[in-house]
Structure 1
Amino acid sequence: MEKPFHFAYNPNQRQFIEDDRRYKEKVSQMNNGECNGSPTHFFVRPKEVENDVDLLDEHDSFYHTTKSLLVLFQIMGVMPIMRSPPGSKLPRTTFQFCSKAFMWAYTIYIIETVVVCYIAQERITKFLNTADKKFDEIIYNIIFMSILVPHFLLPVASWRNGSEVAKFKNMWTNYQLQYLRVTGTPIVFPNLYPLTWALCFVSWGVSIFIMLSQYLLQPDFKFLHTFAYYHILAMLNGFCSLWFINCTAFGAASKALAENLNKTLESYKPAHKLTEYRHLWVDLSHMMQQLGRAYSNMYGLYCLVIFFTTIIATFGAFSEILDHGATFKEFGLFVIVFYCMTLLFIICNEAHHASNKVGLDFQVRLLSVNLTAVDKDTEKEVDMFLIAIDKNPPTMNLDGYANINRELITTNISFMATYLVVLLQFKLTLLRQNAKNVLMQSMRNRVMNSEVNATMSTE
């Protein structure tokens, strides 16, 4: 049989083919019973044992440290998931459309909808009754109408994925008990409890600050109108805080797992333990993927609102500066731009750091292992660990729509700049057209005045 033409592949392709071949070879050995008591029979994950609900509750440090944010979301009606009572055989976190939390969410949503619709109707009526409907005024009204959109899309963007969010919470609960059984030590989340409490207050504090600044800086923004926006901005801030907390927790779990991995690699024949650590790492990677899947609609809407609002607010500010010069109104619009871009930066930057801590750091650590100084089973397990990292990248993906990382920031900025240039060109065209109309009218007036003067002199 002829040998394959390896020279036709580049080094990365050859490495991929070799990894895939070794993986299939090991699976084939297991299926054919060729393990002979070797640790290679641990390459396939053993069947999970049923966990005791009391143990799950006792060691669910992530839930206890982040409970305040979950309760805040329940009060706001944003994500009506519930924690099962102690001793219950139900999953520790559940989502049901007939639960008390959902009934409360439905009630508070109706009340907020009445307020939002009243304010929106008042703003629309005021604009329609304005005699001079300039293009800049249309843009200005669109800015504040766009911020109201997340409220109306909340049932589709957030409630619809409630079961996926509950699944994500339960994955965290089960992971912590499994981690304790494998390593003998619990996962510790330092400073996460006070940080979560602080972010609950910061979410509402920033919301109130942003809207009061608009009331003070925008000449036609009434104080009554601010009440339609408080809960919306608080919801956006809360989701940003939730993302920050989860990314921080992933970093803490990854750091603890890496420390135990280092100790294990220094021990004698650590192949069996490495297999269990590989399983823990795969679970951690799957949780990161589930985070993006669970909140895909909400954060997808999040990015769209930020993208649209930032473009319109930036254009509105520059347009007013071109017309009338810098005033407090433009400063208020720049506050909105800074606020939106800060939210986008936090989400993308934290996702970038979490992915690096869970993925890249483990790859670097495993690649630095001296394979000539370990036994054959450990060498195979290190290879399997690297293959697992390659096959299960710890990326936060919004259910296939977009990856959340730093690249998303640059992509959004480039798109924003493109659309902003187009809008500003349109604005300059309007300014030139207005200047031309003024010049033509001035010339007509001069001609008419000259004709009148000539007629009067003749008479």
Structure 2
Amino acid sequence: MKTSFASSYPNHLTVPQESVNRYGTSYRRRRRSQGIKIESARSQNQNEKEDLDFNDLEKYDNFYHTTKSLLVLFQVMGVMPIERNKGHTTFRWRSPAIIWSYALFTVETFFVGLVFKSRLNLIMQPGKPFDEYIYGFIFLSILIPHFLLPLVAWSNGAEVVKFKNMWTRFQLKFLQVTGHQIVFKKLEIICNSFCICSWLLSIVITIAQYYLQPDMLLWHTFGYYHILAMLNGLVSLWYINTTSMGKVADRLSDLLKEALQEESDEKLADYRDIWVDLSHMLQQFGKGYSGLYACMYLLVPVTTIVATFGCVTEIMDHGLSLKEAGLFIIAIYCCVLLFIFCNEAYVATNKMGSDFRDVLMSINMTLVGSRIQQEINMFLTAIQKNPPNMNLNGYTIINRKLLSTTVTSVATYLVILMQFRMTLMRNSIGHSTGNKTVTNNMAVDVDI
């Protein structure tokens, strides 16, 4: 994905003696005497200003225009029923989007419930091979996120809207402060490709399991398409947002270097303000989607453990076959999701944190003025007090350390399960040997 920053600055946004508030909208400094107006005129001017702000927000929200397809996909799937108006995003519990989500969720729940019941009955049947129990457990666990969707997704709709509006206002503020417009050139193509691939990958994986599992019926597959597509869409959303914020951080870092070379304390102060907004936006992204990604993170390691354990044990017992290939596909799929989830968060965090810190620390403080020294120290303090950590509403920090910790936990549980299985096998062999010895002794007694 390539990001360009247009340097043309709109004339209607260039206002002398203009300041920028914390939301990214501009306002003019005025004396108190200038603020005394007739109420009707004041209301009219305020409405005109709001219309102008929303028009500007809509016009320069390049991120929304390039990622609109993913937003529409989540609306159609009923995952995140938010609405986009001119220049801002809203969430209402009585909106057409939420009503559609209610209806779709009701129909899907009825069908998913039938699939869940059918799969559970298959597991409860005695005398089934071990690998079929493994398959049954995995595909029962994959159905669980569907039932949790209203709790983990819709309940955080207000926080998601807050993040979306932060993105919108940040782009306008970036333009007002730096004079450069944020333009994501290839993001629209990438986003459209992700939307298509999310469903194609879901269909391919589910159909593959249908042919590799003897007890999976064709109508069972229709209960999994939208769930796997949702997981793929969430990973796509994660990649797009973290990569986009990382690209903006790269550009802001370049502007910071130019400001340090020019020794402009005013630009340093402005860029520090933009950096704080970018850091807060990164944290709000994790907070807004914390329920969905927490559910995904809990599902992926458990599925990986069970699938890998089943694959290894079946290969040890019966050798490599197509049936074990199904478990292998699921394990690899989960590992890829987990890697993208942790790695992209780590990259974005580094670009916003350590990279900026390195740029500021590389300056020889003895060669710059006192104002520049003060601004550099304030910037470093802002980075320290507002660390750009990607976290899920404070429950856990997403980075490569979480990836290594999860892999270690998966390996530990696999070793424990293998030891438990070997113990059961030894006990079974010992029990069979004991029964055989008793039988032989009884045969000797009879011969005597």
TM-score bracket relative to the smaller structure: 0.7 to 0.9
Partner of 1:446: 440
TM-score in terms of structure 1 length:
0.84
Partner of 1:317: 311
What are the superposed Cα offsets for residues 383-407 of structure 1, whole Å, 9 maximum, x if unpaired? 1111111111111011111100000
Q: Please tell me whether the aligned partners of residues 194 and 236 of structure 2 are also in contact (alpha carbons under 8 angstroms).
A: yes
Paired residue type of 1:323: D
Whole-angstrom distance in 1 between the partners of 2:294 and 2:179: 39
Whole-angstrom distance in 1 between the partners of 2:25 and 2:239: 31
Structure 2 unpaired stretches of 5+: 1-18, 28-49
Q: What is the SS of the residue equivalent to 2:388?
A: coil
Task: Decide which of 76, 88, 93 is 2:89's aligned counterpart.
Answer: 93
Q: What is the SS of the residue equivalent to 1:187?
A: strand
The Cα of 1:47 is off from its aligned counterpart by 9.8
Task: Decide which of 345, 353, 359 is 2:347's aligned counterpart.
Answer: 353
What are the superposed Cα offsets for residues 102-157 of structure 1, whole Å, 9 maximum, x if unpaired? 111111111111111111111122333x2326766544321111111111111111
Task: Decide which of 378, 386, 406 is 1:384's aligned counterpart.
Answer: 378
Matched-pair identity in %: 49
Within the alignment, does 1:53 sit opposite 2:45 as a pair?
A: no
Within 5 Å, give how 1:249-398 maps onto structure 2: 249-267=244-262, 269-398=263-392
Partner of 2:121: 125
Task: Decide which of 159, 168, 183 is 2:163's aligned counterpart.
Answer: 168
- The two structures, once aligned, show a CA RMSD in angstroms of 2.0
Q: Please tell me whether the aligned partners of residues 23 and 170 of structure 2 are also in contact (alpha carbons under 8 angstroms).
A: no
Paired residue type of 1:156: L
Partner of 1:235: 230
Whole-angstrom distance in 1 between the partners of 2:305 and 2:275: 40
Q: What is the SS of the residue equivalent to 2:391?
A: coil
What are the superposed Cα offsets for residues 216-242 of structure 1, whole Å, 9 maximum, x if unpaired? 222222222111111101000000000
Partner of 2:212: 217
Q: 1:317 to 1:46 in 2, by over 3 A?
A: closer
Partner of 2:35: none
Aligned length, in residue pairs: 405
TM-score in terms of structure 2 length:
0.86
Q: What is the SS of the residue equivalent to 1:283?
A: helix
Whole-angstrom distance in 2 between the partners of 1:444 and 1:135: 29
Q: What is the SS of the residue equivalent to 1:147?
A: helix
Q: Please tell me whether the aligned partners of residues 187 and 256 of structure 1 are also in contact (alpha carbons under 8 angstroms).
A: no
What are the superposed Cα offsets for residues 58-83 of structure 1, whole Å, 9 maximum, x if unpaired? 00011001111000000100001110
Q: Please tell me whether the aligned partners of residues 119 and 225 of structure 1 are also in contact (alpha carbons under 8 angstroms).
A: yes
Partner of 1:104: 100
Whole-angstrom distance in 1 between the partners of 2:150 and 2:393: 18
Structure index of larger Rg:
1
Partner of 2:74: 73
Partner of 1:417: 411
Whole-angstrom distance in 1 between the partners of 2:288 and 2:173: 22
What are the superposed Cα offsets for residues 146-172 of structure 1, whole Å, 9 maximum, x if unpaired? 111111111111111111000000000
Whole-angstrom distance in 1 between the partners of 2:259 and 2:334: 45
The Cα of 1:349 is off from its aligned counterpart by 0.5
Structure 1 unpaired stretches of 5+: 1-41
Q: Please tell me whether the aligned partners of residues 23 and 169 of structure 2 are also in contact (alpha carbons under 8 angstroms).
A: no
Q: Please tell me whether the aligned partners of residues 244 and 350 of structure 1 are also in contact (alpha carbons under 8 angstroms).
A: yes
The Cα of 1:195 is off from its aligned counterpart by 0.4
What are the superposed Cα offsets for residues 346-378 of structure 1, whole Å, 9 maximum, x if unpaired? 011001110111111111111122333332212
